[in-house]
Amino acid sequence: MNFPVARLTARMLLGQRRTLLVVLLALLPVGIALLFRLAAPADADPERFTARTLLGGMLTGTILPLVSLVFATGAFGQDIEDGTAVYLLATPVPRRDIVVARVAVAWLAAAALLVPAALTAGAIAIQGGDPGIVAGFAAAIAAGSLVYTIVFTWLSIATSRALVAGLLYAFLWEGALSGLFSGIRFLSIRQYTAGIAGTFFDLPASVYQPRLDPLPALVLAAAVGAVFLLLAVRRLERWETGEAA
Amino acid sequence: MPPADPRAGAIYDLGYRAYDGPRLGRRAAVLSLYVFTLRAAFGIGRRPAAKVVPVLVTAFAFIPALIQLGVAALIGSRVEVVAPWNYLGFSEVPVALFCAGAAPEVFGRDLRYRTLALYFSRPLRRQDYALAKSAAFITALAVPTLGPLLLLVIGNGLASEDVPGYLAGHWRELPQSLAAGLLIAAVAGLGSLAIAVHAPRRAHATAAIAAWFLLTLPVAAIIVEVGGGAGRYAAWFSPFDLLYGAALAIFGREPGADSIQGAAGLPIATYLLLALLHAAAALALILRRFQRVQA
Amino acid sequence: MSDSPAPAIELRAVSRWYGNVVAVNDVSFEVGPGITGLLGPNGAGKSTILHMMAGLLRPSAGEVRILGQPAWRNPAIYRSVGLVPEREAVYGFLSGREFVELAARLHRLPDPARAAARAIDLVEMGSAASRPCGGYSKGMKQRIKIAAALVHDPQVLVLDEPFNGADPRQRLHLMDLFRSMAAEGRTILYSSHILEEVERIADTVLVIVAGRLAASGDYRSIRALMTDRPHTFIVRSSNDRALAARLLDEPAIHGLAFEDGRLEVRARELLAAARALPAAARAAGVTLYEVRPTDESLESVFSYLVRR
């Protein structure tokens, strides 16, 4: 961990206007939970709504990848696009330390937004249901945002269009295609997140059923995170300044 | 040759002459801008990496239609799961990603590198520039929004045993598909461009467009589900729900009970009306931006 | 370090291509202490060479060594190398001082604040150092980038177009700075497409044309090697026509002309002409007032090499 790099990254993220939008994004589930609490029809099942729609659907399915993507590309993609990455790379700091510092800051930023959002929104919506649902998703989001951040950091180093590539992955691969091909669950950070959350509660399959068991989800998440962290370091060690011939 | 006194100024006649022949004028400028933007949307004439996203996403938009036609041809089943009127429900993610990837490129370079002055010093007017580029992007977007509908209609017709009979019963689907596909392209395209021209960076525009399409979908669904009487109007504010409803109106269909339009229970014609309003508002935003932007 | 035999910068048969475009074609040279100018027209491959020296581009063939160490995939070289990239971008949200201190921290200097203050003084940016870099002018950004590259007192300084955007006074100041660093035995290599910047301070010139090394060395010695192009002198004397008449007998003299009333003498060989001129003057009983070479400026050398 290199603290000057981490501090610089934190200031980059805080100084960007998009961070404000991301904060609004994280507040969205809280607003929805309030709406549910105030206006839900009497026959609504709070556990089902919280696990399936609010935390398992909107938060882990859409907001988690979006927030991780914005922070990961904000940390590295911006630096490379502007040409300022050279000021970090032309120093004796090992490239591994640069990647680790950036991943750590982007992950902390994402988790610092999403975990409280999950806890608050869940606490509002659950209304006396199993609190394990809320705790489980909060923990799973903390883990999932780390894996997402690592993969999207690798994307930012490897391609100049990391944002679009990340959207393709999150919405086409994990979203639209995983409905058609169930094997995608083994290669989907969203399913790892859902699987990890499933450790903390026991709901009937008709209400909420993760597509991966906790153990494979955790192992796969750890493996994907480790592999892509190594790939990101390797890619940065071989990084070449983008220059038109 | 230098003058005898080097301090004396002189202008040398190097033989350049002004062009005083006929000029192509405004219409040709608009047309070439249109063609250029249309090609650029698919990365034609750009480096190979620029082609990957638009081509991949367009291919994904066609997959449901191909599956439907393939299953019908192989099994001979007449079960219509994927139809022109519900097609947006299958292609919304590729369409959103096409917009998120390509829309920021349409005006982005000219705004960022301040090359607009080069256009506006031609016979081209400001609104010509904005309209030509917008029209080109809508045309490009029509490939994934309209293309699969036409493929389905024509494919279904060719696959049926009784082609004249099929045509007699289904000929309306052709103009309806045209109208629905173009409407989707216009509303989604103009909306994306309106976001893109107001975003300072390409990355911001991409993220904002993706959020506008894909984040509003689950949010609107939840609000309609739990929001009760006032919440049902949320179905109007998610662009894809709006367009799905508009397509239903064009094809004269009633929404299914499990769809958000069915749950919201709003008159189906309102979706069509609001979609047209949406496109007009987005176009006005784009034109206003280019009236004001410093060239 | 000074008694190590390895040259500060060494390129061995280095090529670099992008797809099927060759940017740098089989270039070999060594750069020692002092100021070296890398000269070439835009697009000649200067930046590609500098980026390979800075370890930011992989040579497609050959090897780049800095102080005996390979430059590619070896962040350790940055302890002794400072790089000033051409691109203007800096971290706009940092103040100049924070930007230079960041560089000091990344180099793990024991007292980053003092090292930064020293580097900022070197480029005379003290008065603007607490303002954010985002608001700097082109020349100020250039100088703060140089300060960041100097903060760890590198043995080798590599600069890509360092005088871009600097006004004439700052330019002179930077030139003085480079001269004093060179006098301390450091190696300074910078690229430029502007001849007078190179001519004025570079001890050695490397001329890159279309990705190839067209010439290297002191520019006067490069000029001396170009034997197929006559040297031209302007001569002023007490009696130009008498001198001219006498010079016609000298085999070393290739041509004579009166341009704007001045005597122009052309010769194939520099040394022979230098001997012939005073001999002819003495024989003709003429006093020489001035013998001035007309085309020894780097520009003429350069345009000669580029055209060939």
Q: For residue C249, give both structure tokens.
A: 């007998």
- Give the distance from residue A113's alpha carbon to the nearest chain B alpha carbon, in angstroms: 17
Comparing CB atoms, the residue among A4, A95, A237 nearest residue C102 is: A4
Cβ neighbourhood burial of B41 (10 Å; 0-12, 13-18, 19+): buried
State the pLDDT at residue C4. Answer: 52
Q: Is B25 left (phi over 0), alpha (psi -120 to 50) or beta?
A: left
What SS3 state is found at C31? strand
CA-nearest of A86, A76, A91, A118 to A233 is A76
- Closest by Cα among B235, B233, B232 to B243: B235
Does residue C1 surpass a pLDDT of 50? no
Query: What is the dihedral angle through the alpha carbons of B41, B42, B45, B50, rounded to the nearest 10 degrees?
Result: 100
* C204-209/C34-39 β-pairing: parallel
Question: Among A230-234, C28-32, C129-133, C291-295, where is mean pLDDT lowest?
Answer: C291-295
Question: Tell me, what's the pLDDT at C128?
Answer: 92
Residue C305 has pLDDT above 90, yes or no: no
What is the separation of C-alpha C186 from the centre of its chain, rounded to a whole number of angstroms?
14
Of all residues in chain C, the one with the smallest CA distance to A8 is C102
Do the beta carbons of residue C151 and residue C100 sit within 8 Å? yes
Total count of residues recorded for chain B: 295
Residue C277: left (phi > 0), alpha (psi -120 to 50), or beta?
alpha
Residue C265: beta bridge partners?
A: C233, C256
Q: How far is CA C147 from the centre of its chain?
A: 20
From A220-229, C171-180, C271-280, the region with the lowest mean pLDDT:
C271-280
8 A C-beta contact, residue A195 and residue A213? yes
Q: How far apart are CA B280 and CA C102, in angstroms?
A: 50
Residues of A with Cβ-Cβ distance to B214 under 8 angstroms = 62, 171
* C178/C186 Cα distance (integer angstroms): 9
In angstroms, rounded to a whole number, what is the distance separating the alpha carbons of residues A70 and A77?
A: 10
pLDDT score, position B1: 46
**Whole-number mean pLDDT of chain C?**
87
Whether the CB-CB separation of C94 and A84 falls below 8 Å is answered with: no
Contact (Cβ atoms closer than 8 angstroms) between residue A114 and residue A145: yes
Q: Which residue of C has its CA nearest to A90?
A: C78
Q: Is B224 on the interface with A (CB under 8 A)?
A: no
Determine the Cα–Cα distance for residues B216 and B235; give it in Å rounded to an integer: 9
C291 pLDDT band, cuts 50/70/90, is confident
Q: With 60 as the cut, is the pLDDT of residue B4 above it?
A: no
* Of B206, B56, C22, the residue nearest A177 (C-alpha): B56
Checking if the pLDDT of B41 tops 60, the result is yes
- The Cα C124–Cα C177 span in angstroms is 11
| DSSP for B33-95, written as a single string | HHHHHHHHHTTTTS-THHHHHHHHHHHHHHHHHHHHHHHHHHH-----SS-GGGTHHHHHHHH
Give B101-110 pLDDT, tens digit per residue: 999 999 988 8
Would you state the pLDDT for residue C143? 92
Q: Which helix (H) or strand (E) holds A70?
A: helix A64-72
Assess contact for A37 and A117: CB atoms under 8 A. no
Contact A190, A171 (CB under 8 A): no
Helix A131-158 and helix A214-237, axial crossing angle in degrees, nearest 10: 20
Whether residues A91 and C81 touch (CB distance < 8 A) is answered with no
Confirm whether the ipTM is greater than 0.95. no
Would the CB atoms of A25 and B208 count as touching at under 8 Å? no
Contact assignment for C93 to A93 by CB distance below 8 Å: no
Q: How far is CA B118 from CA B15, B104, B125, C30, in A?
A: 26, 20, 12, 46
Which of A35, A159, A175 faces B227 most closely, judged by CB atoms?
A35
| pLDDT > 70? residue C136 | yes
Question: Which of C48, C75, C99 is opposite residue A92, by nearest beta carbon?
Answer: C75
Tell whether B207 lies on the interface with A, counting CB pairs under 8 A.
yes
For residues C240 and B279, which has the higher predicted lDDT (pLDDT)? B279
Instruction: Write down which chains contact chain B via at least 3 CB pairs under 8 A.
Output: A
Q: What confidence score (pLDDT) does residue C276 get?
A: 86
What phi, psi does C28 have (nearest 5°)? Answer: -130, 130
CATH code of domain C9-222:
3.40.50.300
Contact C106 A241 (CB under 8 A): no
CB contact under 8 A, A163 and B97: no
Distance from CA of A243 to the nearest CA of C (A): 8
Name chain C contacts of A76, Cβ cutoff 8 Å.
none
Provide the sign of the torsion angle of the four alpha carbons C253, C258, C259, C263, taken in this order.
positive
Q: Give the dihedral of Cα atoms B74, B75, B76, B77; nearest 10 deg.
A: -130
Is residue C23 classed as helix, strand or coil in its secondary structure?
strand
How far off is chain A from C88, nearest CA to CA, in Å?
A: 8
CA atoms of C148 and C107, how far apart (whole Å):
11
B43 at A interface, C-beta within 8 A: no
Contact across the interface for A83 and C87, Cβ inside 8 Å: yes
Tens place of pLDDT for every residue, chain A, 245 residues? 789 999 999 999 988 777 888 899 999 999 999 988 888 777 788 888 999 889 998 999 999 999 999 999 988 888 888 889 999 999 999 999 999 999 999 999 999 999 999 999 999 998 888 999 999 999 999 999 999 999 999 999 998 889 999 999 999 999 888 877 888 889 999 999 999 999 998 888 888 888 899 999 999 999 999 999 999 999 999 999 864 33
The pLDDT assigned to C2 comes to 46
- Mean pLDDT, chain B, rounded, equals 88
Domain with CATH 3.40.50.300 in chain C: 9-222
Using an 8 Å CB-CB cutoff, list residues of chain A that contact chain C: 2-5, 8, 11-12, 15, 82-84, 86-95, 237-241, 243, 245
CA distances (Å), origin B108, targets B143, C109, C222 = 22, 42, 48
Q: Chain A: nearest CA to B282, how far in angstroms?
A: 21
Which residues pair with residue C190 across a beta bridge?
C37, C159
State the average pLDDT over residues B222-242: 86
Instruction: Extract the tokens encoding B287.
Output: 């034109």
Three-state secondary-structure class, residue B141: helix
Contact B219 A44 (CB under 8 A): no
The dihedral region occupied by B265, where left means phi > 0, alpha psi between -120 and 50, and beta the remainder, is left
In sign, the C-alpha dihedral spanning C60, C64, C70, C71 is negative
CB atoms within 10 A of CB A163: 28
What is the spatial distance between Cα C15 and Cα C211, in angstroms, rounded to a whole number?
A: 9
Q: Which of B78-82, B213-217, C102-106, C125-129 is least confident? A: B78-82
CB contact under 8 A, C103 and A87: yes
Distance (Å, rounded) from C-alpha A52 to C-alpha A129?
13
- Render pLDDT for C54-100 as a digit per residue (tens, 0 to 9): 999 999 999 999 999 999 999 999 999 999 998 888 999 999 999 99
How big is the CA angle at B41 (ends B37 and B46), to the nearest 5 degrees?
90
The residue ranking higher by pLDDT, A6 or B124, is A6
Token code pair at residue C26? 């089989």
Give the closest residue to C181 by CA, choosing from C33, C11, C283, C27: C33
Q: How many residues does chain C have?
A: 308
- Which whole-number Å values give the CA distances from C206 to C14, C36, C181, C185, in the listed order? 15, 7, 20, 19
Mean of pLDDT values over C190-198: 81
User: B242 Cβ partners below 8 Å, 6+ apart?
Assistant: B187, B235, B236, B271, B274, B275, B278
* Strand C231-237 with C288-293, pairing: antiparallel
User: At residue B33, what is the residue type?
Assistant: L
Q: A164 and B211 in contact by Cβ < 8 A?
A: no
Q: Residue A10: count other Cβ atoms within 10 Å of its Cβ.
A: 17
Residue A242, pLDDT score: 67
Indicate the range of C49-53, C177-181, C284-288 predicted with least confidence: C284-288
CA distance, residue B11 to nearest chain A CA (Å) = 37
Residue in chain A lying closest to C91 (CA):
A84
Whether C102 sits inside 8 A of A8 (CB atoms) is: yes
The residues, ordered by sequence, that sit 6+ positions from A132 with a Cβ below 8 Å of its Cβ are A200, A201
- Tell me the three state secondary structure of residue C18: strand
Identify the pLDDT of residue C52. Answer: 94
Report the chain C residue with the minimal C-alpha distance to residue A244.
C18
Measuring CA to CA, which residue among B249, B245, B233, B243 is closest to residue B282?
B243
Residues of chain C with CATH 3.30.70.100: 224-307
Q: Which residues of A touch B225 (CB under 8 A)?
A: 53
CATH topology of domain C224-307: Alpha-Beta Plaits (3.30.70)
User: In this model, does residue B288 exceed pLDDT 60?
Assistant: yes
Beta bridge pairs of residue C234: C264, C292
CA C153 to chain centroid, in Å, comes to 21
Residue C203 reports pLDDT greater than 50: yes
Q: What is the DSSP letter of B234?
A: G
Q: What is the DSSP letter of B11?
A: -
d(CA A77, CA B262): 42
**Pair type for strands C231-237 and C212-217:** unpaired
- The predicted structure's pLDDT at residue B34: 95
Indicate the SS3 state at residue B106. helix
B:101-160 residues touching chain A, CB 8 A cutoff: 101
For residue B60, the chain A residues in CB contact (below 8 A) are 172, 176
Eight-class DSSP state of B200? S
Edge-first strand order for the sheet with C253-259 is: C253-259, C262-267, C231-237, C288-293
pLDDT in tens, B154-194: 988 888 878 888 888 888 899 999 999 999 999 999 999 99
pLDDT for B23: 84
Q: What is the DSSP string of C172-227?
A: HHHHHHHHHHHHTT-EEEEEES-HHHHHHH-SEEEEEETTEEEEEE-HHHHHHH-T
C-alpha dihedral sign at C53, C151, C101, A100:
positive
The pLDDT value recorded for residue A70 is 92
Question: Under an 8 A CB cutoff, do C21 and A82 touch?
Answer: no
Whether C307 and chain A come into contact, CB under 8 Å, resolves to: no
So what's the pLDDT on residue B111? 85
